Chains A and B, each alone.
Chain A
Amino acid sequence: MKAGRPAFDPVLLLAAPALAYMAVVFALPVLVLILRSFGTPTGPSITAYVSFLSDGFNWRVIGNTLRIAALTSLLCLALGYPTAVALARSKGAVQALLLVAIILPLSVGVIVKAFAWQIVLRRDGVVAAFMVMTGIWDQPQLLLFTESGLVIGAANVFLPFMILPIYSVLKLVDPNLQDAAATLGAPPLYRFFKLALPMAMPGIISGTAIVFSLAASMYVIPTLLIGDRFQTLATLTARAFLLMRNEQLGSTTATVLLVLAVSIVMLSSWAVKAKGDSR
Chain B
Amino acid sequence: MTEPTFRLNRRSFVAGAGALTAGLAAPSILRAQAKELVVGAASSQKTWSEEIMIPAFEKKYGVKVIFEGTRSLVNLEKMQKNKGNQYLSVVQMDDPVMIIAVAEGLLDPITAARVPNSANLKPGVTHMDGMWVNYLQPWVGIAYNKEKVPTAPTSWADVFDPKYKGRIILPSLQNTEGVLNLFLASYLKTGKPMAEAQLDINSAFAKMAELKPNVLMSYTQEGQAYNLLEQGEAYMVMGAISSVALARKSKGAPIELAAPKEGTFSMPSGIALVKGGPQPELAAAYIDMLLSPEIQEKVTQATFALPTNGKVAPPAGLSNLTIHKVDWANVSKSRADWVSRWDRELSL
Contact = CB atoms under 8 A, between A and B. Distances in A.
Given A142-B216, A228-B218, A246-B336, 6 more contacts: A60-B347, A122-B233, A223-B220, A229-B215, A229-B217, A229-B346
Contact of B348 (A115, A119, A224, A230): A230
Interface residues of B, number: 24
Contacts of A231: 343, 347
Contact of A243 (B174, B216, B227): B174
B172 A228 contact: yes
Contacts of A147: 348
B310 interface: no
Contacts of A114: 224
A119 B233 CA distance: 9
Interface of A: 57, 60, 114-115, 118-119, 122-124, 142, 144-147, 223-224, 226-231, 239, 243-244, 246
B219 A228 contact: yes
Contacts of B343: 57, 231
B71 to A, nearest CB: 11
A226 B339 contact: no
Contacts of A144: 216-217, 228, 233
B172 A118 contact: no
Interface in B309-345: 336, 339, 343-344
B174 A239 contact: yes
Contacts of A142: 166, 216
A224 B232 CA distance: 17
A223 B222 CA distance: 12
Contact of A227 (B172, B232, B336): B172
Given A124-B232, A229-B347, A145 B336 contact: no
B2 interface: no
Closest 5 CB pairs of A and B: A228-B172, A227-B217, A228-B218, A145-B217, A122-B233
B134 to A, nearest CB: 23
Contacts of A228: 172-174, 217-220
B231 A224 contact: no
Given A118-B227, A119-B231, A227 B344 contact: no
